[in-house]
Each structure stands twice: as structure tokens, then as C-alpha cells.
Structure 1
Amino acid sequence: MIKRFISFILLVVMALVYPSTMIKAEEISNGNSDKKPILTFPVISDVQLTVDNERVQKLFHDTLNDLHSINPNSDALIINGDMINDGKKESYQKFLEILNEYPHPEKTYYTIGNHEFFKNDGNEASIQRFLDFTGYDKVYYKKMIKGYPFFFLGSESWGPVGSPTKDSAFLSEEQLKWLEHSLKIHSHSKKPMFVFLHQPLPNTFYGTDIDYYKNAVIQDQELKAILAKYPSTIFISGHMHWDLRFPNMFIQDDFTMVSSGGVDRIWGPDGNGYETIIDSTGSQGLYIEVYKNRVEIKGRNFAKKEWIKEYQHTVYNLE
């Protein structure tokens, strides 16, 4: 009861700061009706689907339907890790079955999350199942979408269970060098460069200072140093499931950091230095529009089919 009360008080305070917590889709789209976006794409993470969890399966297809209703012609869909919950081949198959059954962009890209390792039969086997599902050669890769670079990062190791690094992202020196070289090549255009990793950087977003997230990215200092060289970088992570209405879930510093919420349940602080589920039916993600001079990042409440007013952000281009 105490945990729920603390979470309730936090949200009440936020409601006082933001008297109207949600706005309608048409209210957002009409504001920029004079200029159409060049590129649009949703970002979701933490579906955590399994063969036997019908609740989560419904959440996933409801999310796909809602995103299709917003824009049936989005240019891509990004699924930023934890698409499945147990790392099993059968769950990948069920995920693909639902994905094929419901409308979604033809260009759909993935990152590997910590739950993709949860079959707990070793790094090589877990990564191979992810690669078999996606058709990729590595857990990190680049895609160009309508002239904009998208970089996808992924952990190359997990655990072991019980260690301080369980669920953390481990990025090899090769992966980090690849990222830096790739960002350097594309930085001259001054266009925004999108970088995706399932885990957030420690000590950034609200909540990433608790023990569980302090090792979220093992090479966090190295990664942060690379991204800081390129201010047009927009770094998007999932993993937390923390309510996008909390403060500091979007940060602009040397580069931009964006949290994408979570499709399956919403989390928050428990008041004792840990985290807890604060909304067992909650479901959140992002819808992103890229214009010539800016990027608009919009939080979406899939459960209520509403925009999250507290999570409407604009990143202006350097051009």
C-alpha cells in the first residue's frame, strides 16, 4: 500500500503541473498541417511476448492497430529490444505470427534486449536465435531510411544470473569503433542520426540512478563519449518501462536521449530505492516525425489510444 501511495502522489503532483494529461491525435497533427514530415516511424520496446501469455499478445496487436490508425503509411517500425520474454524460438514464432497478422510498416527493425537471452543457454545460442529471426549478420547494424541514418546497437553478452551485470548491455570494442566510424561519416550532413540500444545509459533518465540501472550499459562511459562528439545524435532506449510522464525521461545535453516507455506494463519508483509496477494495464511507446528543420517525438498511451501530453518534444536540426 505504501508503494502504491508513493506512486500515486508522484502522479498527482505531475497532474497539477500538467492540468490536462492527454491531447487528441488531431490536436497534434493540425499544429503542423502546413508542412508534412519527410519521415515518420514509431518506436516500441518491451513487448515481452511468450506463447502462453494471451494478455501480452493482445497488447501487441492492439499496439500495432493503434499505430496503424495514427498513420497507415509510416516509413518504418523500430522494435527496440525485449520483443519476447523468454528467449525461446517458439516465442519468436508467435511474435512473427502476430506481426504478420496485423498491419505494420514493411520496414521493421529490431535490437536485441536482455530478455532475448532469458532461455539462459549461453550467449552464442541466444544471439543466434535473434539473428535467425531477424536475418541480420550481427546484433549491430546500420540502415538508411529516406536519407537518414539509423544505427542499431546490441549487447554481445548477458549475465550471468545473480551477477551485478545481469541484464546489462555489453558492447565490444569492435562495435564501439564501428559506431564511432559510422557516426563520423554521416555527421557532415548535420541531419539527425538515430541510435538505438535497448538499455539506457546509467545516471541519465529519472530512475537510472537506482542499483539495477547503474550497470545498464557496461561501456557507458565509452558510449557516452562517442555520442557526445555528435550533437545531432538522438539516442533512443527502452528497458525501463518507466512512465513517460515522469520528469527527465527526455534529456538534451551533448546529444539527445529519449526513453521509449514499454508496451507491457508501466513501472516507477517504490520509495525504497527500487522499482515497482505502478500500472499493470499501462502500455506506452513513441511516434516520431522528421521534418526538414526538426524532429518531433510524441509519447503515446496505447492502452487509452491517447497522446501523452507530458511527452511531446522537439529536437531542432543543426542545418
Structure 2
Amino acid sequence: MDVYFVASPGSRTVRQTRWTATALAALVACGGLAASASAGERTPDHTSVGTFDVMSDIQGALQAFRDVREEAHELAPDSKALVINGDIVDRGYDFEYQEVTDIIAETPGPQTTFSSIGNHEAYAPAWCSPTSLCQPSWPNGFTEEELYDSFYAFAGRDEVYAEQVVDGIPLLTLGTERLMWWEDPNLDDHIYLSDEQLSWLRARLDHHTRDGRPVFVFTHYPLYDTVTASDGTSGEFHLQDDQLRQILGDYPQAVLFTSHTHASLRDDRWARRIVVPGGHPDGFTAVNTGGVVNRQVLQVSLGADGARIRARDVAAGEWVQDLVVPTVDPKHRAAGLRVDPVSEHIAPGSSVEVAAEFTNFSRRQLVHVQLEPVVPAGWEAERIAESGRRHLGRGETASATWRLSPVDGAEQTDTLDFAVNAEFGRGSHAGTITEQTSIEVVAAPTGTPYVSDLPFIASSNALGPVERDQSNGSLGEGDGFPLTVNGVRYDKGLGTLAPSETVVYLGENCTRFAASVGVDDRAPQSSQNRPDDGRGDGGDVVFQVWADDEKVWDSGIVYAGEGARDMDVHLNDAETLRLVVTDGGDENWWDYADWGLARLTCRG
């Protein structure tokens, strides 16, 4: 990585970073930008193709938008496009879009606009008039179709995801195809990207990255733990976070711009390189756009050498960040290997399946590819599936799945360390990539442990993970609230959303299981503060306890608002305990089910 320091117009120092292909791995290790300088080096020219402006989060701050647009024009009078990455308006009224349109027409700057949909584009249903907030009567006559049509009229297209190439600059935008808090009361402003949209993105990235130059992708909400302020709830709104991240991770030329948080562009995490397991070893670039509400803007210049991204604090009249994303040599040999076990915890004596996938990311063919397991002592690996060719072109994959089983009579360790070698090439052109995974072989519990303190050998949940010692929140782990049933709070237990299932290993060493079960008091509430509109009844679930394959307790239907039901059941020296919650026979709206004080009685 080469880092340059250049003087800003305000005589303060601007940190400029140039990410080179050979140094991206080091950048990823620190998760941010480097702090060393290469004094006296000249900044490369990246303006041969053109410059465009990136703004977001106007949200009715019309004077701020006017000020930012005017200054952006002064700094780059030949800017070719204005990208507005969501929250164009405050609520989604047509007159609000017109106000933004009028400012664009009245101020100097690019008249070509490219827009992403944000959450504020759909907030009008909480209002019965532009001046009267009427949340109890949500949606106040609005429909999803009307809200989308208003956005489409402003954006000049009829889909949320789109491509625009402006004088050779490729711009791609993504957007939610459903207003999820309208579709599912358990969700908020979550982003839904269809398989069609994700396939489209991969196809367009594959097309635009062939020459190695950066390609610019926009979506309003950040992916989890990528840029400033995305490590909390603001980063948990993409329902297809893993799929989108995996696609972007295959293209080191991809530059993802995200918004929503209004986080300052002065923060060190404003731009980061994100490496995805199994993706290109250099990862992709994630960039925070700041927000017009804070009078901040990005200017991006693209040239043959790559892209230069500069962050401007208009209120202070200063450049505050300067980043260079280089062009990637498409002929450079690069590949990725991902190894995934079906479970990270297994019972003693059990088998586990592990899958591996190897991908070629360069234009150069990788020949004589083979995937070979590195099996630890005391275990044997049976190859049960494989696909792909021995010679892989750009974007092609080879995969294999093994079943790992303990050797009879062999001593078992607490941890199974399993690796896969991806070997390719011959002679001086040979190469190997190794990826390892660890699987814990759990021990039978002793004493009187809480279930939330034990490893799960399997678990599933309707939204996000089964939570330990808190209610189910959203997509992330640890994003819930205190377990509370009918006003009673439980410091220990499991938080779920039906349908859910949690399996723990007992090893025939536990005799009883006890818990206080009920529907959690907290019904999720979207930013619309919508009322229960009749689509749900506040939650009704059925709790079940299974000892191996025998159901040893069934709660019957438990309703929200009733007190917790105390239960205590014999486990018949079972190998496993399975805690199941169903939706009570209807939809799972508000079916947030808590296993309060879930505890075992075991020997030892």
C-alpha cells in the first residue's frame, strides 16, 4: 500500500491511500487504512475517463442539498453524473421528489442522475397528510405500488435495480423489491434482493470487470460490519447479506457505496477492504457516503489506473479523505477456497460433512486442479460428492464434500482440525491454497447447567440465530432484548422466533429439564410504528421438548400476554435434547418464544 499526504485547500492534511493488489491482504488484516506515508510521491492521475458525485440521505434537508451540490460543481465542474444513494426524500410524497428535482434543475452540476431507493422513500404511510402524523391509522390509504411508482417517476425507470454507463463509467444500483415491514410484521426496513437481482449483479460485474478497472455498486443500507456504524443494528437489514457479500467478494474491482447511518466521513472506517471466505483474496472495497444532512459528499474519478475517491466536508470546506482503488490486472493469477462444515459442534462418535469450493478468479486458466483433504489422526474422510472440471477458466469452480468419521477405537480429541488443499498447475507453475476449519467435539454436560451456556450441535430459527440469554432480535447474533414474559424478566434462557429448533448433546448423563416458557412481551416495531392491523394476534406458539426421538412434553398453544408456564420433565437418559417451537398452526407473526431459565439436571 502506498499512502500519500497532500495539502488540502484549507491547509490541513488529507490522508490519501492507494490500495495496490500486492498489499490488499495486509490492509485487510488491520481492517482499515494504513498509517504510513510515502513522502514526495506524486499522486497518479485518475481523471482520464471522468468524475461523478455521490450523495445520500437528503431527507428533506433541501438547503443542505443545494449547498452540497453547488460546492461539488465548483470542485468538479465537468462532473458527469450525480448519484443519490437513497433517502432522496423524507417520506415519499410526490411533492418532496419535485423539490429535489427543482434544486437539481436550478443549480449548476450534472443533470444526469442515478438514484437508489432508501427507507425514507416509503415513510408516507405513517402520515394522513403531509402535516399530520397518524401512525395508529397506518397505512393511511397508501399502497406499496404507489410508493414504488413515485420513486420510479423520479428515477426514470421501472425497477429498483439498474445499470447506467455514463461516458464509460459503470454504475450499478441495488434495491429492495419488497417493503418488508409491509410484507411481514416480524420485519422492519429489511432489504429483499431476489435471486434474479443477485444473478443480474453477478452478470454485470463479470461483464464490467474484464478490463480490471473499478466498477461502482450502490445500495442504501450497509452490509454488516463493513464501514462506519455498520457493526450494530444498521448493518443487519440485508436479508441476503451473505449472498450479496459473496458475489462482491469475487471481484476486487467492485466498490460498494452504502449510506443510511449518516456516519461522518472523517471516521477511519469510512472505507475498508472486505475479504469474503472463499472469494478473491483481495476482497472488495466498501465505502460510506456520509450524508447530505451532514453536508458531506464524495467525488469519484475513474481512469485507466483505477479510481480516486475523495470525501468532502462541505460545512468545513475541507477534503477529509482521499482513497485510490487501483485497476486490477485480470491476468494476475488469483483463486479462492472456502471450507464449510455442516456443524461447528458434534457429539462424540458422530460423523460430520464438510464441503469445499475452489474458484478461479483470473483470466488465466488453472490446470490440473484437485482438492485433497488433510485428515487428522483418529479420523477418516470419505469423499461423497464432487463437481467441476480439472481445468478451470475464469469464474469456474471445483467442489467436493467429505464425510468425516471417527476411526473405531481411536482416541478422540476435543477439537477436530480439518483442512483442504487446493492444488493446481504443474512444475514451476504449480500452486497450493490451504484452508482449515475446526469442529468442536462436545462433552456431556454435568451439574445443573443452563442450556444457553452449552454448545448447540444444531439450531434453526425463523429470523437470525437462536439467542442466548436475550430475546430474538433481528438477523444478527446478540441483537435481542431482555427475556421478558408478562412483565417477568429472565436473566438466563433462549430467545427464538417460531419455527425454531435447538439441539444439545446430553450423552445419557442428564435426568431432567426445566424452564419457564412463554411469548416474549416485545413485539417488533418498525420505523413506521404501525399498529397490529389484524394480520396477527400478538403471538401464539407451541413449545415441545424431545428426548432423542421421544416427545416428552408439549405445552399446547401458548398466547401472548399470559404468564409463563413452568415445566419440569424427565429426560430418560437421552443422548440429545431437542427444544422445538412451532407457530401454533397459523402464521408466525409476533411468535417470539422464550425458554426462560432453561436448565438441565445432570450427573457429576
Establish whether TM, by shorter chain, passes 0.5.
yes
Q: Is the 8 A contact 2:105 2:111 kept in 1?
A: no
Inter-CA distance 21–291: structure 2 relative to 1 (3 Å threshold):
closer
The answer on 1:24 being equivalent to 2:2 is no
1:88 to 87, 93, 107: 93
- TM-superposition CA deviations, 1:272-306 (whole Å, max 9, x none): xxxxxxxxxx3212011112112111111121222
Matches of residues 296-315 of structure 1 in structure 2 within 5 Å?
296-308=308-320, 311-315=321-325
Q: Is the 8 A contact 1:123 1:156 kept in 2?
A: no
Q: Which amino acid aligns with 1:312?
A: D
2:201 to 176, 179, 187: 179
Aligned length in residues = 274
Q: Distance in 2 between matches of 1:172 and 1:72?
A: 38
Q: Distance in 2 between matches of 1:227 and 1:183?
A: 8
- TM-superposition CA deviations, 1:134-186 (whole Å, max 9, x none): 22021111111222321111111224289664233221121111111221222
Q: Is the 8 A contact 1:164 1:215 kept in 2?
A: no
Q: Distance in 1 between matches of 2:212 and 2:6?
A: 34
Q: Is the 8 A contact 2:46 2:307 kept in 1?
A: no
Inter-CA distance 60–313: structure 2 relative to 1 (3 Å threshold):
same
SS at match of 1:116: helix
Q: Which amino acid aligns with 2:189?
A: D
Inter-CA distance 218–34: structure 2 relative to 1 (3 Å threshold):
closer
What is aligned with 1:42?
53
Q: Is the 8 A contact 2:228 2:288 kept in 1?
A: no
What is aligned with 1:241?
262
Q: Distance in 2 between matches of 1:132 and 1:151?
A: 18
Inter-CA distance 107–183: structure 2 relative to 1 (3 Å threshold):
same
The answer on 1:189 being equivalent to 2:211 is yes
What is aligned with 1:122?
143
Q: Which amino acid aligns with 1:285?
A: V
Higher Rg of the two aligned structures: 2
Q: Distance in 1 between matches of 2:45 and 2:201?
A: 36
Q: Which amino acid aligns with 1:77?
A: L
Question: Whose strand proportion is higher, 1 or 2?
Answer: 2
Q: Distance in 1 between matches of 2:260 and 2:143?
A: 21
Q: Distance in 1 between matches of 2:122 and 2:73?
A: 30
TM-score (norm 2): 0.43
Q: Distance in 1 between matches of 2:10 and 2:115?
A: 26
Inter-CA distance 242–136: structure 2 relative to 1 (3 Å threshold):
same
Q: Distance in 2 between matches of 1:193 and 1:35?
A: 14
SS at match of 2:177: coil
Q: Distance in 1 between matches of 2:44 and 2:198?
A: 40
Matches of residues 194-209 of structure 1 in structure 2 within 5 Å?
194-209=216-231
Q: Distance in 2 between matches of 1:150 and 1:185?
A: 12
Identity %: 32
Matches of residues 102-251 of structure 1 in structure 2 within 5 Å?
102-120=107-125, 121-160=142-181, 165-211=187-233, 213-251=234-272
SS at match of 2:124: coil
Structure 1: which 5+ runs fail to align? 1-19, 50-55, 265-281
SS at match of 1:248: helix
Q: Distance in 1 between matches of 2:258 and 2:86?
A: 9
Q: Distance in 1 between matches of 2:92 and 2:77?
A: 30
SS at match of 1:160: helix
The answer on 1:255 being equivalent to 2:266 is no
Q: Which amino acid aligns with 1:250?
A: A
2:105 to 100, 106, 118: 100
Q: Distance in 1 between matches of 2:7 and 2:92?
A: 35
Inter-CA distance 92–33: structure 2 relative to 1 (3 Å threshold):
same
What is aligned with 2:303?
291
The answer on 1:61 being equivalent to 2:62 is no
Q: CA deviation at 1:34?
A: 6.5
Q: CA deviation at 1:25?
A: 7.5
Q: Which amino acid aligns with 1:23?
A: S
Inter-CA distance 312–163: structure 2 relative to 1 (3 Å threshold):
farther
Q: Which amino acid aligns with 1:97?
A: D
Q: Distance in 2 between matches of 1:25 and 1:227?
A: 36
* Superposition misfits of 4+ residues, deviation over 6 angstroms: 25-28
Inter-CA distance 57–35: structure 2 relative to 1 (3 Å threshold):
closer
Q: Distance in 2 between matches of 1:291 and 1:194?
A: 13
- TM-superposition CA deviations, 1:248-290 (whole Å, max 9, x none): 22111311111100111xxxxxxxxxxxxxxxxx321201111
What is aligned with 1:318?
328
Q: CA deviation at 1:36?
A: 4.3
SS at match of 1:94: helix
Q: CA deviation at 1:218?
A: 1.4
Question: Whose helix proportion is higher, 1 or 2?
Answer: 1
Kindly report the root-mean-square deviation, in angstroms, between the aligned alpha carbons of the 2 structures.
Answer: 2.6
Q: Which amino acid aligns with 2:53?
A: P
Q: Which has the higher contact order (CA 8 A, sep 6+)?
A: 1
Q: Distance in 1 between matches of 2:306 and 2:69?
A: 26
Q: Is the 8 A contact 1:168 1:218 kept in 2?
A: yes
TM-score (norm 1): 0.79
SS at match of 1:205: coil
Q: Which amino acid aligns with 2:9?
A: K
